[in-house]
Amino acid sequence: MEALIRQFLILDMWNLGLNLVVVVLGGVYLLLTSQWGVHRFAGESVRPGQKVLFLLGLCSLYGCLGSPIVLIGHELFSVHMLQQSLLYLVMPPLLIRGLPVWMWRRGFAEKWMQILFLPAQRPLISLVLFNGLFSLYHVPRVFDMLMSSELLHLFSHFVLILSAMLMWWPVMNPVKEQVNLTPLGKLAYIAGAGVLLTPACALIIFADHLLFASYSESGQMFSILSPLDDQQLGGVIMKVIQEVVYGVMLGIVFFQWAREERAKEESEAVAAAVGRSAPNWHIRVLEGGKGSGEKGRG
């Protein structure tokens, strides 16, 4: 365990280049969402909580791809699965919700952005795309091939992050002009995502032998768990984080739906009350006018 902790204290284990990129992105974001940026680009003000979401998304990105987690993830499958859980299940919703709507609208004004997010306009396609790629990634031969090449491994991260963004878009989409799922559709979508991710996790959790040759000698640097226990723990980590994230999303969608229905009922009740009182008001006006006329004639 000491060797594991020591990795975070070694400066060379941190990707300073990616650190610079993340800091620049965060700085540009804060500038664009400041009063100057909102006025300059005719955007809408951004709530502090929304800024926190985006910055947490950037921190998740750097923590997974620029910290010692990268090296440790090559030695411990459980850490690798933690890395994937944060990259594909936690980071995308944070970034999507963290960017203000006016930025998304400006982005979708570009043709390439429209083409890139085209699968997200068809929820079934985006749902199957991510979960299919994620399952393919964990086919032992494919996994070992990707892990053997740093370039292929980075490329697989890029593809899976992009497909994860597309998967989350139908649920998190803040652009009202686009086709959006109904609240009930979002609940079904999240439930379906959980079902589709389960087979890959179950295969890893319940395997009684090592699936990935890349981790057959894991534990030599960090003597914590046996390779098989580490593999099973990785599956458990992915499944637990998935259940927590999807459970939170289900709760958010449900309570937003409940608030919208309550607001709709209240507005309908007010409209009905106004409608019932309006005829009586007209009658009183007419009666008042009639009485005044009779007094005038008298």
Query: pLDDT digit string (tens) for 239-294?
Result: 999 999 999 999 999 998 888 888 887 777 777 777 666 555 555 555 555 555 55
pLDDT at 93: 95
User: Domain for residue 54, yes or no?
Assistant: yes
pLDDT in tens, 176-189: 877 778 999 999 99
pLDDT in tens, 75-129: 889 999 999 999 999 999 999 999 999 999 999 989 999 999 999 889 999 999 9
pLDDT at 202: 92
User: Domain for residue 272, yes or no?
Assistant: no
User: Domain for residue 253, yes or no?
Assistant: yes
Q: What's the total number of domains in the chain? A: 1
pLDDT at 150: 87
How far, CA to CA in Å, does 104 sit from each of 34, 37, 52, 79, 211? Answer: 17, 15, 18, 33, 41
Quote the domain boundaries for residue 92: 7-105+119-261
User: Domain for residue 283, yes or no?
Assistant: no
pLDDT at 227: 87
User: Domain for residue 2, yes or no?
Assistant: no
pTM recorded for the entire structure: 0.82
193-201: average pLDDT: 92
Which range, of 20-29, 149-158, 179-188, 282-291, averages the lowest pLDDT? Answer: 282-291
**Nearest CA-CA partner of 90 in 65, 129, 61:** 61
pLDDT at 143: 94
Contact 61, 22 (CB under 8 A): yes
User: Domain for residue 276, yes or no?
Assistant: no
pLDDT in tens, 209-237: 999 988 876 555 566 778 899 999 999 99
User: Domain for residue 244, yes or no?
Assistant: yes
Label residue 127 exposed, middle or buried (CB < 10 Å: 0-12, 13-18, 19+).
buried
**Nearest CA-CA partner of 92 in 64, 125, 111, 112:** 64
pLDDT at 285: 53
User: Domain for residue 111, yes or no?
Assistant: no
